[in-house]
Amino acid sequence: MADMSVTLCGLKLDNPVIPASGVFGYGAEFKDFYDINILGSFSFKGTTKEPRFGNPTPRIAECCCGMINSIGLQNPGIEAVISEELPNISTYFKKPVIANVGGYSVSEFVYCAEMLSEAPQVGIIEVNISCPNIHRGGANFASDPKSAAEVTAAVRKVSKKPIFIKLSPNVTSIADVARACEDAGADGLSLINTLLGMRIDIKRARPVIANKAGGFSGRAIFPVALRMVYDTAAAVKIPIMGMGGVATAKDVIEMMMAGATAVQIGAENLRNPFVCKEIIEELPSLMAELNIERLADIIGIAQ
């Protein structure tokens, strides 16, 4: 029988398939499509200290083999997530979840991570450092190894749970940022976040998205994401959750061979809400075809 289990910093997952933050909400919408307990885990919606309505609309633009979004971390805030959303999750999902946190200052990351690390349902804290640092001119924390390390070290001091730093691809060298996070105490890394992109409405001669540009995701970015996971896995010793354009069981295998221990599926959930279920069901036959007995054995074998 195919062994699809993997282990992330002591957290054993039945399989490496994880819906990514931002596309799966808190799981409530998807539980009506299938039993989401078949998932390895899921990363819930990015959480900030205060409630956020998000960016002005329109926020979504379609494009070939993908989409562009500029949601703006819309969420009910940390207090509501802990008092309402996590108790709700516990009624329909029986495994540890991944808590994704965002922030516009180091202190905000610390505040959210410290609170969520006390939640029994949370197995891993995923720190999205692709947020603008309002105290340093608006450049995001992921754009500079020093800033990335600063957030990592601060969160590491207060978190009782493993922390995975979510990295941006919009940098000169993602490996340099990854090494800085590892040196600062990160337990693992998540990559890649979205690329930057835009669309223009040619009838109005204006950008489609109110915020002009947004995060480009979907199948089109898979080769870029795969290369960055490969480069990062060669540069660090900590585990990686790979993501970016993943849409099939073959994509999952590729990501793991490149160096990912687990694989997150993002935009494809919006196109096909059954995609994670389908991937989990297809993996055993693909493993048999490739003579793979244990998925854990293929992590990084393409290096």
What is the Cα–Cα distance from 187 to 183, expressed in whole angstroms?
10
Instruction: Identify the residue whose tokens are 């790979």.
Output: 242
In a domain, 22, yes or no: yes
Range of the domain at 178: 6-298
| Catalytic residue list | 131
Instruction: Provide the mean pLDDT of the chain.
Output: 95
In a domain, 282, yes or no: yes
Sequence-ordered list of residues with C-beta below 8 angstroms from that of 83, at least 6 positions apart, any chain? none
In a domain, 153, yes or no: yes
In a domain, 120, yes or no: yes
pLDDT range class, residue 23, cuts 50, 70, 90: very high
pLDDT range class, residue 139, cuts 50, 70, 90: low
pLDDT in tens, 179-222: 999 999 999 999 999 999 999 999 999 999 999 999 999 999 99
pLDDT in tens, 59-96: 999 998 999 999 989 999 999 999 999 999 999 999 99
Looking at residue 133, what is its pLDDT?
Answer: 43
**Segments of the chain assigned E as strands:** 6-8, 11-13, 17-19, 60-63, 66-69, 97-101, 122-128, 163-166, 188-191, 195-197, 200-201, 206-207, 214-217, 240-242, 262-265
Q: What is the CA radius of gyration of the chain?
A: 18
In a domain, 85, yes or no: yes
Looking at residue 34, what is its pLDDT?
Answer: 97
Helix axes 222-235, 249-258, angle to 10 degrees: 30
Task: Say if CB 101 and CB 77 are below 8 A apart.
Answer: no
What is the Cα–Cα distance from 181 to 189, expressed in whole angstroms?
8
Strands 11-13 and 6-8, sheet pairing: antiparallel
In a domain, 237, yes or no: yes
- Enter the tokens of residue 67: 């989409």
Count of the separate structural domains present in the chain: 1
Could you say which DSSP state residue 174 is in? H
pLDDT in tens, 228-265: 999 999 999 999 999 999 999 999 999 999 999 999 99
Looking at residue 131, what is its pLDDT?
Answer: 61
Looking at residue 141, what is its pLDDT?
Answer: 87
Please state, for a pLDDT cut of 90, what percent of the chain lies above it. 92
- 3-10 average pLDDT score: 97
Long-range CB pairs of 112-118, under 8 A, 24+ apart, other chains included: 112/47, 112/48, 112/49, 112/78, 113/155, 113/158, 113/159, 113/163, 114/158, 114/159, 115/78, 115/82, 116/47, 116/78, 116/81, 116/82, 116/161, 117/158, 117/159, 117/160, 117/161, 118/160
- Burial (CB count <10 Å: 0-12, 13-18, 19+), residue 83: exposed
In a domain, 1, yes or no: no
pLDDT in tens, 259-292: 999 999 999 999 999 999 999 999 999 999 999 9
In a domain, 303, yes or no: no
User: In CATH, what number is assigned to the domain containing residue 291?
Assistant: 3.20.20.70
